Amino acid sequence: MFKDAKEAVKFIKEKGIAYVDLRFSDLPGRWQHFTVPAHEADENFFKLGAGFDGSSIQGFQAINESDMLLLPDVSTAFVDPFAEHPTLVVIADVYDPVEKKYYDKDPRGVAKRAEEYLKKTGIADVSYWGPEIEFFIFDQVGYSIEPHNSGFWIESEEGHWHSYEGGDGLWIRPKEGYFPAPPVDKYQDLRSEMVKNLEATGVQVELHHHEVATAGQAEIDIRFDTLTRTGDNVFKYKYAVRQTAARAGKTVTFMPKPLFGDNGSGMHTHQSLWKNGEPLFYDEKGYAELSKLAMHYAAGLLAHGPALAAITNPTVNSYRRLVPGYEAPVNLIISRRNRSAIIRIPMYFTGPKFKKSKRIEYRAPDPSGNPYLTFAAMLMAGLDGIRRELEPPKPVDKNLYALSAREARRIKTLPKSLDEALDALEKDHDFLLEGGVFTEALLEEWIAMKREEAAQVRLRTTPIEFQMYYDL
């Protein structure tokens, strides 16, 4: 929004801004913030930053090295459309004041280093990213994890389980929620309000619609952008969607699989490389009009797919989604137009006239991860594929869920659990360390944090175990 601190201060005074809110990402991927009165936000505030306790942020510092700085990036500023008092939101980078450098574990810093590394390789000078983010809109959610009482419940005005209670009779059955018109789609106006508020933060929206699952599953597609900016936009997206839902008395979750027996929420990610203003993924004579460079890039994603899963699908719940039969990709294969493959090549428009739209879609990621780390990790895998001139497995242009057992055994798949994905990341992460983009310290912290999450789930008895085993 602004090119320098002087412009930011001038805007604050002219527009009557009352507060400045600094936001940054913790390691798991939650937005954190604190707020200062506008009279404290002078040019020095924007240039020198503001101190905070890094030991209180998950995945950051130890208590004996807690003093950290937030350096505002004024180009990210937007006026908060939800704040009662005029508030300017600014995304910040984390800085270590003792080491005199940007903090190695700052997820946004990882994204920025990935972009810098891309330029240094000479392969391309920019990458573009277009995530398709899915989520559920619920009326109410409750859960219990007591030793003597464990379970959850979900209320949704669209939920098919209410059909016996009466009402308008227009229930969305499991896996039948794709594109129904109102009044079957009961969230048209709410999603439109979400779009309005999201665009008020500076994020361009392309479309919105009901998704496949029952109970208010939705998708809002945003315009592609550069890697770090897209990471910023995902955080704005989650903020705007959740705030809009809260104002309407609803609640939103980006959990990949909140409902058993129905489709989960993914974050299919479109990506491409460009150099000197020209797309690098197009070749009229290539498979699905992909260039050799694009095929090498795709091969990198497939080769590192199991390790990537620990970052692109980083929760125990992620692997409830990654199962056959629910449009979630598990097969490490490339294919055109094929949504059962983990890499799909969109073919809506073809030929030289549309070369700028040529891209690949990596369908594994879900929105429970940290977008900065997710996009950076995928870029590093793709660049490793280019650097090593890897070739992807032969494309399979048919429904991968309908293959014979013999055919299916020939295709590698994603890990079946978070622990398996973390095992893969421990064995295969050198590609992430290239150019200092990720660090060993960050990956060690990430793996330890995620191991603990997996253990917490593994140690607890679940309700279905009573049904299966109580009478043995």
Catalytic residue of the set 23, 191, 242, 268:
268
Marked catalytic residue, from 160, 162, 336, 339? 339
Answer yes or no: 99 catalytic.
no
Q: Is residue 53 flagged as an active site residue?
A: yes
The answer to whether residue 132 is catalytic is: yes
Per-residue pLDDT 10s for the chain (472 aa) are 898 999 999 999 999 999 999 999 999 999 999 999 999 999 999 999 999 988 899 989 877 778 889 999 999 999 999 999 999 999 999 999 888 899 999 999 999 999 999 999 999 999 999 999 999 999 999 999 999 999 999 999 998 888 777 778 888 989 999 999 999 999 999 999 999 999 999 999 999 999 999 999 999 999 999 999 999 999 999 999 999 999 999 999 999 999 999 999 999 999 999 999 999 999 999 999 999 999 999 999 999 999 999 999 999 999 999 987 766 788 899 988 676 789 999 888 888 888 999 999 999 999 999 999 999 999 999 999 999 999 999 888 766 666 666 766 778 899 999 999 999 999 999 999 999 999 999 999 999 999 999 999 999 999 999 999 999 9
Catalytic: 219?
A: yes
Strand, helix or coil for residue 259: coil
Q: Are 270 and 363 in contact (CB under 8 A)?
A: no
Find the catalytic residue in 73, 219, 232, 262.
Answer: 219
pLDDT of residue 410: 77
Neighbours of 127 (CB within 10 A): 24
Residue with tokens 């590698």: 412
Single out the catalytic residue among 115, 132, 158, 185: 132
Strand, coil or helix: what is 166?
Answer: coil
Which residue, 230, 229, 213, 397, is CA-closest to 221?
A: 230
Residue 397 bears catalytic tag: no
Which residue in 131, 234, 229, 248 sits closest to 186, CA to CA?
248
The three-point CA angle 459-462-464 to 5° equals 145
CB 419 within 8 A of CB 281: no
Distance CA(104)–CA(442), nearest Å, equals: 7
| Architecture label for domain 5-103 | Roll (3.10)
Give the integer Cα–Cα distance in Å for 362 and 313.
12
Which residue out of 73, 96, 134, 185 is catalytically annotated?
134
Task: Tell me the Ramachandran region of residue 337: left when phi exceeds 0, alpha when psi lies from -120 to 50, beta otherwise.
Answer: left
* CA distances to 69, 81, 272, 295 from 211, in Å: 41, 26, 25, 30
**Domain-wise residue ranges, the chain:** 5-103, 121-469
Dihedral sign, Cα of residue 183, residue 185, residue 189, residue 192: negative
Q: CB of 98 within 8 A of CB of 66?
A: no
CB 126 within 8 A of CB 113: no
Annotation says 247 is catalytic: no
DSSP H/E element including 205: strand 205-210
User: Can 361 be counted among the known catalytic residues?
Assistant: yes
Catalytic option among 53, 65, 67, 407: 53
Selecting among 361, 366, 384, 429, the annotated active-site residue is: 361
What superfamily does domain 121-469 belong to in CATH? Glutamine synthetase/guanido kinase, catalytic domain (3.30.590.10)
Neighbours of 358 (CB within 10 A): 24
Angle subtended at Cα 45 by Cα 39 and Cα 51, rounded to the nearest 5 degrees:
110
| DSSP character string of 180-199 | PPTTTSTTHHHHHHHHHHHH
Q: Please tell me what DSSP assigns to residue 225.
A: E
CA–CA dist 267, 130 (Å, integer): 9
Residue 358 has what DSSP assignment? -
Closest Cα partner for 439 from 365, 369, 373, 366? 373
The catalytic position among 211, 232, 262, 327 is 211
Q: Alpha carbon of 374 to those of 151, 285, 324, 365, 395: distances in Å? A: 30, 31, 23, 8, 25
From the list 255, 111, 261, 133, the residue with the least C-alpha distance to 194 is 133
